[in-house]
Structure 1
Amino acid sequence: MLCCHPEFFRVHFVTQRPRNQGDPPVFLATLRARLDGKTLESVTMKHSDRVLVLDFGDHRLIAELMGKHSNLILIDDENRIVAAAKWVRGAQSSRPILPNTIYLWPPVLDASEPDLHNFELPKVHSKFSKAGFPWSPGFSLKHGAYPVELADRYPSWVPKDSFSIACEQAYRERILSHEFESSQRGLISQLESAVLAREVAIQELCEAIETGGRAGTWQRHAELLMAYASNLPAGSGRILLPDYDGAELEIKLNSEESGKENALRLFEKAKKAKGRLGVLNDQLVRLRGIKHDLDGYLLRALEAQTKQAIDVCLSEIKERRLLLTQVHGSADGRQVKPFEGHRIRELVGPKNHRVLYGENAEANDYLTLRVAKSNDWWLHVRGHTSAHVLVPTSNKPELTPREVLEYAAKVAVQKSPQKHAGFVAVDFTLKKYVRRTKGSPKGTVIYTHEKTLHVEG
């Protein structure tokens, strides 16, 4: 086993071959092509340090076991680099590792130390015995493998027949522990981000619902303004009018608008607030349920003791689509706005299905032509203006529940002038049947193969 992992770098014999990881990396394929059938002629530890040279005659394989700088390098008989596990550019190091360049030895702790060629066990054993430490390999789960017995220092000490076996088993346990801790940290981080995002969304929904709850007040203000519109002074920023119960009511005005214009603006504001309340309340119930589930998964992740438990938890979360999609950064490190800044909103529909819609013509155009995939469901109010609504399907549209399409259809109706009508026809089709004709305005499309849902406005 030769490993140049930055944390688990090592060389030792193994009793079990590692599992095949599929297609071999280029470095391994090169080793097979160059060294297959060759004889290992000698092994040298350069200056008795952390550089091991395996000589195969016309090629040498060099293991540099130096922490995060560890590497495996194949050189030819002219000392030129043929292949490497990690290429190192000149900008990264004063000692670059590049194809077909002369190999330079790495710095060692003490260049005066002789090269070590003899690894015969009796000689190694005698050196340890002379130092007062009889050869007795083993390992501790927490502290790793050692060639001498340390049972008095480490209570979890496990003796082994050879140092290689001790290394093999110690690193196996250490790698499993590392994989578990890494998986656990990653899942906890994702869950904490998802919980925080839901908390923010819930807070925003509560504020929007609170605003919608003021629709009655705006409606009353608008009615009073309309009743007294002819008597309102021009250019006023506020006015006192008698309410229905006779008490005086102060109403804020836009000084640049007439009394009638102020009333119409408040009527429209009240109508929009009322129209959104149903969708907002449904969304709030769903988000609170999702946050409750995420809190449960976060507790499971924190209490997990094995990687298998983490994998099961992650599998359930992915199946239920509870984790947020990552927002990637740009090449210069700046965060990229989702949907390139277009006003596209995302809702959580039944069974945690994503539902997206555009808030204006540009957003609709971008959503339909740039975001949507061929087999995503696309919805639009039939024969009238509305938002383009998209239900992503991961290329499996047949698995989308009808209730998700009905929810998306309601979103399309709510985002159209038809939202106060009786029953509204909403067409849905796959995105591959939707296209924009040449020269047509943004957000204007034609579509075929549609089916229709009828939604109450």
Structure 2
Amino acid sequence: MAFDGITVHSLVHEFNENLIDGRITKIAQPEKDELLLTIKNEKETYRLVISVNPSLPLIYLTDVNKQSPINAPMFCMLLRKHINNGRILKIEQPDMERVVVFYIEHRNELGDLCVKKLIVELMGKHSNIIFTTDDDIIVDSIKHVTPVMSSVRIVMPNQQYFIPKTSDKLNPLTVSKDEFIKKIKSSKGILYKAIYSSFTGISPVISQEICNLSGIDSNMPISEISDDFLIHLYNIYSNMMEDIKSNKFDPVIYYKNSEPVEFNSFGLSIYEDSINMKLSTINEVILKFYAEKDKYSRIRQKSATLRHIVDTNLNKDRKKYDLQLRQLKDTEKADKFKVYGELLTSYSFNVEDGAKSFTTTNFYTGDEITIPLDEHKSAIENANKYFDKYNKLKRTKAALDEIIKETKESIDYLENISTYIDLATSEDDLTAIREELITSRYINKHVKDKRAKIKSKPLHYISSDGYDIYVGKNNLQNEEVTFKIANTNDWWFHAKNMPGSHVIVKLKNDNKEMPDRVFEEAGAIAAFYSKAKGQSSVEIDYTKRKHLKKVAASKPGFVIYHTNYSLVANPDISNLTLVE
């Protein structure tokens, strides 16, 4: 994801539609690197957030107000003195840079009209908010850059403002065909890197999009690209730039496994297989994208402890399981030792004293067989030794069969838990999983937070035909939807042979046969809430609830069934309604 020059261009377009002629009625600085401007334009009030946080510089309109510090910082006081009640004349983006310039008209101390500039630079760790005169003399900035800090540009009061040209990038909106081809040909390395390294405001994602639309391998070395290919590439590039200049935008967010992974001002063919959401403005896209991204980040942070517990136990169980399987393989020798014992007992009179081996015919197979012997023991004593080994391995196999079954059940259970941690979308979901791990004794009981209250409930969807569909988000909820919410004739769905949620479709009172579409949608939900949610197709088992059985003393959520049907589902549930 990139807050690139194209995103800034589309934002500036929207700002011009909403903020021109608006008056700045309030200026606040909630954070040391953030401004909040309240702007009234006709009957509308807008709040403009300008954040130059090095890790995530952003500019957007919001409805949310923020608490300001009691004592305003000096930069905030300076802006209030100069541009409070100022009128926004125009908003520009110079040369497709990640820079937004607000031209603000205000009255000076003598009452004369004058113009100042509020310049927002959204350039990663170099991001800044700079306040200048109309002729670009810096009045002040939210971050000072001294000569010690930078030899390229000083950002201090009374210095001349300019955008540093640290590379020879060209403006993508004004470059000609000849300039484009010459610039690419003079580059080194591979094609898509050459594009974003040659033109301002172009991100790696847009570079790959241009290559994809051109049908040219984005990783092709520049040295191997012909002039004809470059002309074709320019035509595709030029069409995109014309749409940008004409402000033809179609803002969109792309998702992977329900998590936002990319956004852009227009559709991207490189993400055509991803689930997407189109919104009316890039400002809405930015608000939604970063809010959802932040939610997922917080959930990941809070789930780290649970994930560590699950992964640690999973690794232990997998090592145990591998060792147990090797031990089980060793017990396959038991029958051989039994045969050795029987042959030595039957032919003991043929075994010479002090012999180290005995060769005879295996009366079970008719093949010749050689039996190793302890020369210090008699034939019968050697036979008894082999019978002892046989009985020991037989007992070991019987014990291992049960232990291996338990270990495999534990692995399956923990893999289920791991999947539910991945599917968690709220702190309540994590609390429910934690309670389950305490119940299953993977977390010590004294660690339990007595104040924690489980608010998480099974998910409730409404199918396109109005059927209620319930989904468990953890093993305890799986048992709830399957054995409490579901009736005997309701339909049950689950991803085949993999961790996932129990999905129940409630029949309507008329008990008519369900439409095929309901089966498809329930299958899609079962696929989405499973370990395979990132795949394009997932095999789903489904059956009547009455065919499910809960095994005594088994882990929560574990059921068996012997009667079922199967379908293949695409884990796309974007068209389904989730009941809050």
TM-score, scaled to structure 1: 0.35
Q: TM-score, normalised to structure 2's length?
A: 0.28
